[in-house]
Structure 1
Amino acid sequence: MRNNNYQKALNMLIEALNLAKEVDRKDIIALSTGGIGHTYLLQNKIDEALEYLKQSLHMQEGMREQMGDAYVGTLIDLGFAFEKKSMLDKALKYYKQAYKIYDSTGNQRGKDKIQKFMKDIKSNQKYIDIFNSYKVELENNNYQKAHKLITEALELAKEIDRKDFIALSTAGIGNTCLLQNKIDDALKYLKESLQMQEDIKEIMGENYVDTIIHIGLAFEKKSMLDKALQYLERAYEIYDSTDNQKEKDKIQNLMKDIKSKI
Structure 2
Amino acid sequence: MFIQILGVFDILKKKEMSLQYYLQRLYEIQEEELDVLISIGAYYLQEDNFEDSLNYFEKALRMAIDMDDDEMEAFIIDSIGDVYLNSRNIDKALEYYKEAMRIYFSIKSPLKDEIKEKIKEVKKIKAAIDITEISQIKERKVPEPEEPPELNLEKLNSKLDFVVNMVDSTSIYSSYSNDKEAVSHLKDAFRISRDIGDEAGEAALLLMLGNIALKQKEYTDAKKYLEDSKTFFRRLGDEKGTGVTMVLLGTLNFALGDMQEVSDNFRNAVEKFQKIGNKDAESAAIDLLNTLYED
> TM class by shorter-chain length?
0.3 to 0.5
Per residue, is there more helix in 1 or in 2? 1
> Which structure is higher in RCO with an 8 Å CA cutoff and minimum separation 6?
2
Structure showing greater radius of gyration is 2
Q: Given the two structures, how large is their TM-score scaled by the length of structure 1? A: 0.47
